[in-house]
Amino acid sequence: MAEDLNWAIGGEAGDGIDSTGKIFAQALSRAGRHVFTSKDFASRIRGGYTAYKIRTSVEDVQSVVDRLDILVALTQRTIDENLDELHEGSAIIYDGERSWEAEIPDEMTAVDVPLKSLAEDAGGAIMRNIVALGAACEITGFDVEYLDEALEKRFGGKGSKIVENNKEAARLGQEHVEENYDLDHLGYNLETTDEDYVLLNGNEAIGMGALAAGCRFYAGYPITPATTIMEYLTGRIEDYGGHVVQAEDELSAINMALGAARGGARAMTATSGAGIDLMTETFGLVATSETPLVITDVQRSGPSTGMPTKQEQGDLNMALYGGHGEVPRFIVAPTSITECFWKTVEAFNLAEKYQTPVFLVSDLAMSVTEQTFPPEAFDMDEVEIDRGKLVDEDEVDEWLDAQGRFRAHAVTEDGVSPRSIPGATDGAHMSTGLEHDELGRRTEDEDERVQQVDKRNRKVETAKEQEDWDYREFGDPDADNLVISWGSNEGALVEALGYLEEEDVDVRVISVPYIFPRPDLGEEIEAADDVVVVECNATGQFADVIEHDVLTRVKRINKYTGVRFKADELAEEITDKLTEEVPA
């Protein structure tokens, strides 16, 4: 493993922590370094504690670790919150002129930079965090010109004066450290490469996937952490003739998206927390009316208001079973930021091919993490669009009954019926959440009821056969120890393999992106001596599902502190778990 560096800035909400962190992440990305970011924040606009952490390396990084090398501390609490991760070689940048007395452990290097005064010299106190970035560049031997590029990107729209002032602020921070400190002994020296990376988070990847897939309508209601999908699409979807509506609530949002889908548009909504509960009412309607719709749930810590800004994978059961009655559905759960993009594209295709709701289940950790990728990871030429049995005017005629009525819910061998959209001559039909006949008209006839239920369920069976419900695999395919995960734990698990290798623990990792239908892991589990299921929830919802599938008990690693798994801790937990008895 190449040397990596862990950097953070922390302070109170409202201190510009997030944008400062993003600027530094951008600078590192421009320098051809890989970046993996994480956020620590509370659900408030001002005050409290919030931090933005960056792990950077010239090699790929996919996880956070329990170590902090450089910390920009705007408050004492920032130092206190991170004491566990700071070490003897850590440098802490703080402003000694500020009113708080920084208590910094003796073994660490305190770097006192008059952030506010220097920012004022450069043109305004608001730039004090940029002074700190300049100071960080000096400590880490990082070329400040990359920071200039990031500042241009961030402030370019605000005019050259602002950009120049910010560059000056960075220079003053850098010079202050250069003139007053000799920190060579810390040994930080950030290499650069010629690589060109893009830097984005999971929600941006979902939004970009939606645009690539031809999504034209989005309706949503602001809720952390799903809102950034809506914010990404707003201002971009219009370029393709689409539109974003901020609805009055989630009930409205999902129904608007449903309406747009009935109109023939590729439509999506996204929510989190209680928002998905509210949308549950409409799940059955989407499925019964056979409407293609992508419903995104960016999971956060529940139940109820829970911890709105914390990580959890607690909605698996909700996705599987939410809604009264028996609702056929697909559940796709991306396992990484690039997968957020590809699985969104796939979700739209599944929705239209099978005229069914598709739940795209992501989680907070992925949604707020910025990560670097080569742009080819999002090769748009690879995007395929399949609109399924969408029939045009000429094809409508093939699906009319003897009276010339369109059979929108025709019972077919594969369960999928033709779909006509408004404007198609002779395609007019009614769809409903009531049980209906082939024409969409209400029925309570026993035979018709059974036919339609079977038909809708047959779509899922058809999809099981026709689509690839594969898993992703890492580590040693022949290892006796099998670790299974879903969602965003994949990155931490892949990195944990490195630590496990050092301990001579052989592990095969299976990362599952499909919750329903899902890959049959019977053989893989059979072949393993030990099976551990890793997830960010308290009860082991995915472990339950696996046990149910293969009728055998598995071991569980559950984390529900609200913080994502870290590679090093995960390696340790796996090692411990392998020595335990399988639960009876």
Partner 1 sequence: MSSDVRFTDFKSDKQPTWCPGCGDFGTMNGMMKALANTGNDPDNTFVVAGIGCSGKIGTYMHSYALHGVHGRALPVGTGVKMARPDIEVMVAGGDGDGYSIGAGHFVHAVRRNVDMSYVVMDNRIYGLTKGQASPTSRSDFETSTTPEGPKQPPVNPLALALASGATFIAQSFASDALRHQEIVQEAIEHDGFGFVNVFSPCVTFNDVDTYDYFRDTLVDLEEEDHDPTDYEAAKQVVLDSEKEYQGVMYRDETSVPYHEQHGVTEDMSDIPDEAPDDAMDLVREFY
- CB-wise, 212 or 525, nearer to partner 1? 212
**364, 311 contact by CB (below 8 A):** yes
Choosing from 109, 431, 451, 575, the residue that interacts with partner 1 (CB under 8 A) is 431
Size of the site for partner 1 (CB under 8 A): 71
Largest CA distance in the chain: 90
Alpha-carbon distances of 225 from 49, 268, 275, 529, 554, rounded to whole Å? 18, 16, 11, 38, 31
Contacts (Cβ under 8 Å, ≥6 apart) of 199: 25, 26, 29, 35, 370, 371, 372
Fill in the per-residue mask, 123 to 162: x = in contact with partner 1 (CB under 8 A), - = not in contact: ----------------------------------------
Structure tokens at 314: 């607690």
Choosing from 238, 454, 470, 480, the residue that interacts with partner 1 (CB under 8 A) is 238
Dihedral angle, C-alpha 67, 95, 128, 135, nearest 10 °: -60
| CB 19, min distance to partner 1, A | 16
DSSP string, 283-351: HHHHHHTT--EEEEEEE-B-STT-BTTS-----HHHHHH-SSS----EEE---SHHHHHHHHHHHHHHH
CB-neighbour burial class of residue 528 (10 A; exposed 0-12, middle 13-18, buried 19+): buried
**What is the C-alpha separation between 70 and 263, in angstroms, rounded?**
53
User: Exposure string (b/e) for 275-310, b if CB count within 10 Å is 16 or more?
Assistant: bbbbbbebbbbbbbbbbbbbbbbbbbbbeeeebbbb
Dihedral angle, C-alpha 452, 456, 461, 467, nearest 10 °: 150
- CB-wise, 275 or 540, nearer to partner 1? 275
Q: Restricting to residues 105-124, name those near partner 1 by CB under 8 A.
A: none
Instruction: Please identify, among the stretches 82-90, 130-138, 190-198, 313-321, the one whose residues bind partner 1 according to the rule CB under 8 A.
Output: 190-198
- CB-wise, 219 or 493, nearer to partner 1? 219
Instruction: Please identify, among the stretches 104-112, 430-438, 444-452, 544-552, the one whose residues bind partner 1 according to the rule CB under 8 A.
Output: 430-438
Check residue 577 for interaction with partner 1 (CB under 8 A): no
Check residue 241 for interaction with partner 1 (CB under 8 A): yes
Using the structure block, give the residue that is written with the tokens 């472990």: 543
Choosing from 116, 262, 449, 472, the residue that interacts with partner 1 (CB under 8 A) is 262
Contacts (Cβ under 8 Å, ≥6 apart) of 576: none
Amino acid residing at 217: F
Q: Restricting to residues 285-304, name those near partner 1 by CB under 8 A.
A: 285, 289
Instruction: Please identify, among the stretches 40-48, 90-98, 421-429, 458-466, the one whose residues bind partner 1 according to the rule CB under 8 A.
Output: 421-429
Choosing from 51, 132, 233, 247, the residue that interacts with partner 1 (CB under 8 A) is 247
Choosing from 135, 208, 298, 319, the residue that interacts with partner 1 (CB under 8 A) is 208
Q: Restricting to residues 356-415, name those near partner 1 by CB under 8 A.
A: 375, 378, 380-381, 383-385, 387, 403
Check residue 442 for interaction with partner 1 (CB under 8 A): yes
| CB 502, min distance to partner 1, A | 34
| CB 429, min distance to partner 1, A | 7
Choosing from 350, 424, 528, 543, the residue that interacts with partner 1 (CB under 8 A) is 424
Choosing from 13, 108, 410, 421, the residue that interacts with partner 1 (CB under 8 A) is 421
- CB-wise, 98 or 262, nearer to partner 1? 262
| CB 430, min distance to partner 1, A | 4
- Classify strands 68-73 and 293-299 as parallel, antiparallel or unpaired: unpaired
Q: Is the C-alpha dihedral spanning 431, 437, 441, 446 positive or negative? A: negative
Using the structure block, give the residue that is written with the tokens 């010109």: 145
**What is the C-alpha separation between 453 and 285, in angstroms, rounded?**
13
- CB-wise, 423 or 583, nearer to partner 1? 423
Instruction: Please identify, among the stretches 127-135, 138-146, 171-179, 420-428, the one whose residues bind partner 1 according to the rule CB under 8 A.
Output: 420-428
Q: Restricting to residues 264-283, name those near partner 1 by CB under 8 A.
A: 264-267, 281-282
